Structure 1
Amino acid sequence: MSTSTGSLPRLRADFPASAAAADRPDAGTAPPTRRDPLRLAAQLSPLLGLGVSIALVWWGLETGVLQSLENLQVFIDSLGAWGPVAFLIASAASVVFPIVPAGLLVIAGPVLFGPIEGTIYNYVAVCAGSLLNFAIARHVGLGLIERLFRPRTVEKFLGWTRSGHFTRAFAFAIALPIAPDDLLCYIAGTTRMRWRTYVAIILLCKPWALIAYGLGVSALVLRFLPW
């Protein structure tokens, strides 16, 4: 009798705590996960770039700057040195963080500044952005890359780094105008590739992609636009 009566108060004392835990709406559920702000910014940045591009086109049509190629080039010339400087900064920044797709600016270079000068500006800007990508990845590591790009896409190209021919494959991809250069440059920074090897690949292989894509597509744009 003494044993049963002694255990009864403990059962009564424990019951309210267990009942309260069961009545909580979040009982047995994991705490909500917070969204990564950097990944969210990377996902929304193309929409922001699209909005900025639409706003610039609307402004150009309203002001007459985009009414003809001559008007556009006169406007660029009126900016003086600020025109090329702004283009170089925007192009290099788009390689590091693609708010505006870098491919659009590569096409715009020859249209805005002419085929030779525009290609030179593209080369300087894209190479500068590519070198910065490598430096960022070398100091920050893979964690940042997985936050900026889709993990499945990152894992796909990480498979290249496990091959003994990664350097050759990387150089070939940089020379092509269709490869995801920004991501590949980031991933190269996480490998043991030497700086001098990377710089040589960028400086020697990048012109072929810029010439094929920038000059080729811009020539088609100028041909079919009603200017």
Structure 2
Amino acid sequence: MLKSTRSLSNRQWIQIISLAGLCLTLIGLYYMKTHSHFFTVGGAFQSFITNLGIFGPLVFILLQIIQVVYPIIPGGMTCVVGHAVFGPLYGFIYNFIGIFSGSLLNFYLARKYGESFAKTFVSEQTYNKYTAKLDKGQGFQYFLIAAFILPGFPDDFLCMVAGLSNMSFKKFCWITLLSKPATLYLYTLITYQSLLFLNHSFL
């Protein structure tokens, strides 16, 4: 009973922090709207990162790892920021390194700490919905590939579900390496161009 209460408390804290993160994100989006050049290539944020020298990309990659494991900031936003600040090539590289590292960490933590860890981050309904896929045996790995490629799935949580399965760490690495890069670049580019279009349309 004590373990269940602690798990519920952890979930509540994460929901509160995530809500605070969402509020900060909305404030950030408003700031981006009123200071349209802040996150563009050559803007103030890039200057800040550049002034950090070699630590600039490391700070950004660490931010990506944190948002994968502890989803305070929407991942789509950080990917777009990386694209805008570092450019298409290096932005993609830093985005992928951070997301890939965070995905592996999610897998490892779920494997080490079990369902109590995974349940902390989602509702009981969401947990039951996706862990039910584990009963499909080999079918789960094909579902995981499709979920990583297609939009609309909770990729970060599915990394935890994979950690609860019998899938080997090596196989999970290969699935992530083969299914995430192309879609990460495509969705980031589409989102970035859409934001530019909306920004120009309402100026």
The TM-score normalised by the length of structure 2 is 0.84
Q: Distance in 2 between matches of 1:222 and 1:197?
A: 38
Q: Could you tell me which of 149, 162, 167 is aligned with 2:122?
A: 149
Is residue 43 from structure 1 mapped to residue 15 from structure 2 by the alignment? yes
Q: Distance in 2 between matches of 1:160 and 1:173?
A: 12
Report the Cα offset of residue 54 of structure 1. Answer: 4.8
Q: 1:57 to 1:79 in 2, by over 3 A?
A: farther
1:75-120 superposed Cα distances (whole Å, 9 cap, x missing partner): 4433322321221111111100101121211222111111111011
Question: Quick one: which amino acid aligns to residue 181 of structure 1?
Answer: D
Report the Cα offset of residue 34 of structure 1. Answer: 5.8
Deviates more, 1:68-77 or 1:177-186: 68-77
Deviates more, 1:74-83 or 1:37-46: 74-83
Q: Distance in 1 between matches of 2:98 and 2:195?
A: 21
Tell me how large the CA RMSD over aligned residues is.
2.6
1:56-92 superposed Cα distances (whole Å, 9 cap, x missing partner): 5677789996296543344443332232122111111
Q: Distance in 2 between matches of 1:51 and 1:78?
A: 28
Q: Distance in 2 between matches of 1:64 and 1:214?
A: 18
1:186 is matched with which residue?
Answer: 160
2:184 is matched with which residue?
Answer: 210
In the alignment, is the contact (CA less than 8 A) between 2:68 and 2:102 conserved in 1?
Answer: yes
Per the alignment, in what secondary structure is the counterpart of residue 99 of structure 1?
A: coil
Question: Quick one: which amino acid aligns to residue 175 of structure 1?
Answer: I
Q: Could you tell me which of 117, 127, 132 is aligned with 2:105?
A: 132
Q: Distance in 2 between matches of 1:83 and 1:55?
A: 23
The TM-score normalised by the length of structure 1 is 0.76
In the alignment, is the contact (CA less than 8 A) between 2:41 and 2:86 conserved in 1?
Answer: no
2:134 is matched with which residue?
Answer: 161
In the alignment, is the contact (CA less than 8 A) between 1:133 and 1:182 conserved in 2?
Answer: yes
1:16 is matched with which residue?
Answer: none
Report the Cα offset of residue 45 of structure 1. Answer: 2.1
In the alignment, is the contact (CA less than 8 A) between 1:109 and 1:214 conserved in 2?
Answer: no
Q: Could you tell me which of 213, 217, 221 is aligned with 2:195?
A: 221
Question: Quick one: which amino acid aligns to residue 111 of structure 1?
Answer: A
Within a 5 Å distance, the mapping from 1:1-227 to structure 2 comes to 36-54=8-26, 56=28, 66=38, 70-72=42-44, 73-164=46-137, 165-226=139-200
- Between Structure 1 and Structure 2, how many residues are aligned? 195
Question: Quick one: which amino acid aligns to residue 211 of structure 1?
Answer: Y
Q: Distance in 2 between matches of 1:81 and 1:49?
A: 27
Q: Distance in 1 between matches of 2:52 and 2:34?
A: 19
**Larger CA Rg, structure 1 vs 2:** 1
Unaligned runs of 5+ in 1: 1-32
Question: Quick one: which amino acid aligns to residue 128 of structure 2?
Answer: E
Q: Distance in 1 between matches of 2:114 and 2:77?
A: 28
Per the alignment, in what secondary structure is the counterpart of residue 162 of structure 1?
A: helix
